[in-house]
A and B are shown apart, each in its own frame.
Chain A
């Protein structure tokens, strides 16, 4: 199923944050949403999942408009992994992952056996099955990030939105999380991920959507979008880039002197 967003705008306290953004992510695609701080990436994701008020615009998944769906039905179609790792109570790791099944529970409903197998599979796919009953607060940053990713995967939605899932992770776990996201796309999901690490974006993503100042200014394969010009104009940095093992690497190298 594909995600379609048409001319979506977000305004916070009268200030336009996202302006007329249109994008689409097809099933099987792993797409990056990149841009400098304040470009409106997080607000765009939040508006798509209904966690921030949008003004105007239309969102559909698999051709069905989200406006026509009840909150639970919408939640079954789009999984959302927010940036922050804060958890309120001292829940165990498995209980956190189980929260991903919320859209399938009735008002007073209990979890079913099928639920348990989905939770098991989600935890296994991100290698946190050994953590099970560990209190979430005692986990390391990398473990927390993967437990929360497992939580998002447990929703079993055809669309996955992830907001900086590799921020605060060490290189090993950054690569691991990117591989997991990529494999979800290869399994048929539409994956849209906000990234600040442009090297990971260049290497792992099928397509990159570049945002600046609330607008989408470019959309295409990484090497077409993350050009030297774009880096200098949008990010105000000059990059270094090259090829290794048939893949492109890209490093922001020097800040442009402010004009």
Chain B
């Protein structure tokens, strides 16, 4: 257990973005994945409400082909992630299990140069925004530390995509210009049940869907310069209500 790790990984994402003179985006997440998670390449696909899934960013041509291949075939670890809402970790695409599970994907992926593919849902409970894929040239499992970093990176990508969807309508903005991550990264990285409960409560208070409720919760914390967990706690404790008119939020 390394409770401080999320803040380190978030720092790397912010640092990568700052070095390029940009705000953090999923492209930075993919780039950082090749560092701490020590993979050969990464990609992020977005599940569009208004259209088919699309590839938002890739680190290299092999990653791009792996992402496209799965979207085209409708088969592969990334496709299974959408069904299970959990990571799908294919440590050896050449083994029997993978061949049986993805008959159309495993062999071509191997020929493209992927020994292993690891797919992570970009989701928070029922909120789903897309999938992050990682590949390694040679087969082999992720270590617990690598897995932890990959999960933290997936959390970061989820939040960046949600910000992009809020501001850009279709998520493209997050890739194009990059948008700030509302709230303090270490705060967002630490999981608290009250944040999920408050998000559920806000779907009723604001009459909005769950993704928007989550965005509004984070926006409120950001604008009022408070910790997300504290705002969530106030909402769950019914000391704070948010209103449909963003100007009308406040303590009761």
Q: Do A and B come from one complex?
A: no
